[in-house]
Amino acid sequence: MTQAEELSSKGLEGLSLIVGMGATGLSCARFLGSIGADFAVADTRAAPAMLPVFRAEFPEIVSEFGELREAFLNSATRLIVSPGVSVKTEAIAKLRQAGVEVIGDIALFARVVNKPIVAVTGSNGKSTVVALLASILRADGRSFGVGGNLDGENFKPALDLFKEEQKDIYVLELSSFQLETTPELNAQAVALLNLSQDHMDRYADATEYLSAKQNIFNGAKTVCINLSDPLTLPLDSAVRTVRYKTQDALEDGFGIAEVAGVRSLSFNGRAFLAVERIKVAGEHNLANALAASALAHAVGVSLESIASGIESFQGLPHRCQWVAAVRGVDYFNDSKGTNVGSTLASVVGLGEHFAASTGGRLVLIAGGEGKGADFAPLVPAVGAFVRKVILIGRDANLIAHCLERDSKAHDIAFAQSMEEAIELASNAAKAGDAVLLSPACASFDMFDNFQHRGDTFAARVRENARKDEG
């Protein structure tokens, strides 16, 4: 028997109106249908992608597509809003102000789940930390489910986890869009990994963005704190915390210890895994490993299992993923670097690694849809670690102007395609260098999504590697 068959519609009396019929909206419909709850569906689009599937599965359910009608929304006891729909939409905001409950799929999940939740948010590193934690839990023999704001083949809406056999623990990757409709998560352990400017096309300012992220703290039993980023601190000082820091060892938390020239992950000052045994490169991935360690410790996993899980982790596609070496130059696909903070972490992480190991520098391929971001935080890292910047996409000129405002001259070139960008980068790179695709932008001006962008990069690099070998 699956969990869905054991759950009831208690607490969901009245009509639930799902707003947004994408993959998440469809998961809400399936879940509500499985527990016999009364629901209807609306979408601002006349023909959302999941509409044929929805109508085939729920031919009797009332639905409206196109402009949101206030009268239809008013018929609902609550709105269940998909992450792709802004709660600032006039009709939704009006009902929210009037006291109508507005929640999302994660709030619905939290309301009915009866096993512990471990949740991760942050501007960067969420997917890697979740995947590291999954590897650790697997090494510890735990039964777990993973869902939420995942991408590609790993995508699974949280509510779809109820279609499976019940697990001992649930690990959720959460976006700000999901958290802004999650008033109470009540998780066993949470981490807000970091915060850098993102989604400024949807939020008024960085404070509003942070406020959405901080909903992850609501009801949390343990908060894992990144001491290198004060914005990750919990709002309630009384909550239990597990601390971590990448710069040095901690006597009461996770850190980096150095003994006889060997750097290791440490807990309470004691080393438990040499950094050289970790397969994902860059200082930013040490922070990801420490965050996963802290979350695992918060749910009772041993240091032995933490070390084993981290050591066996191979990394995720499109996240500082090594692609190939061509003529002494390493190529890395970080297409998931869709905001400034993510690209900054990759440039510094890989830049420090290559400076120390080969004396090399980076050639950075960046650009795309900037989402209203300020690219100024990239300037010092580009100056310190980058030999040349190749810019692509709609906001290439914005990035160039930002770099050119710096007193230090930066070597910048423009490309009209990924193939041209790789050719320019290959010509600029020297043996011992690395070419890094980390756009700091969304991909939709030139590609279907960040996976398509990364796959295009990787395919051309591998083709060049084959030609070089031949």
Distance from the first to the final alpha carbon of the chain: 56
Are the beta carbons of 61 and 40 closer than 8 angstroms?
yes
> DSSP 3-state assignment of 415?
coil
Q: In the block, which residue shows the tokens 């970080």? A: 334
Nearest to 343 by CA among 355, 354, 353, 333: 333
For residues 129 and 126, what is the distance between their CA atoms, to the nearest angstrom? 5
Rounded (5°) CA angle 365-331-327: 120
> DSSP 3-state assignment of 437?
strand
Which residues are within 8 A (CB) of 189 and not within 5 positions of it... i.e. 6 or more apart?
116, 118, 119, 220, 221, 222, 223, 224, 242, 295, 298, 299
> DSSP 3-state assignment of 113?
coil
Q: Catalytic site residue 126? A: yes
| Candidates 199, 245, 297, 388; catalytic one | 199
Sheet strand arrangement including 321-326: 321-326, 329-333, 434-437, 362-366, 386-391, 412-414
| Candidates 126, 213, 284, 336; catalytic one | 126
| Candidates 124, 149, 218, 285; catalytic one | 149
Task: Give me the residues paired with residue 329 across strands.
Answer: 326
For residues 8 and 57, what is the distance between their CA atoms, to the nearest angstrom? 20
Tell me the backbone φ, ψ of residue 322, rounded to 5 degrees: -65, 130
**Helices (H), ranges, 61-199:** 70-74, 90-97, 105-112, 126-139, 176-179
Q: Catalytic site residue 371? A: no
Are the beta carbons of 146 and 134 closer than 8 angstroms?
yes
Strands (E), 310-444: 321-326, 329-333, 362-366, 386-391, 412-414, 434-437
Which residues are within 8 A (CB) of 357 and not within 5 positions of it... i.e. 6 or more apart?
none
CA-to-CA dists, residue 348 to 16, 134, 343, 355, 364, angstroms: 46, 26, 9, 10, 12
> DSSP 3-state assignment of 143?
coil
For residues 470 and 459, what is the distance between their CA atoms, to the nearest angstrom? 17
Tell me the backbone φ, ψ of residue 226, rounded to 5 degrees: -90, 105
Are the beta carbons of 427 and 291 closer than 8 angstroms?
no
By annotation, the residues acting in catalysis are: 126, 149, 199
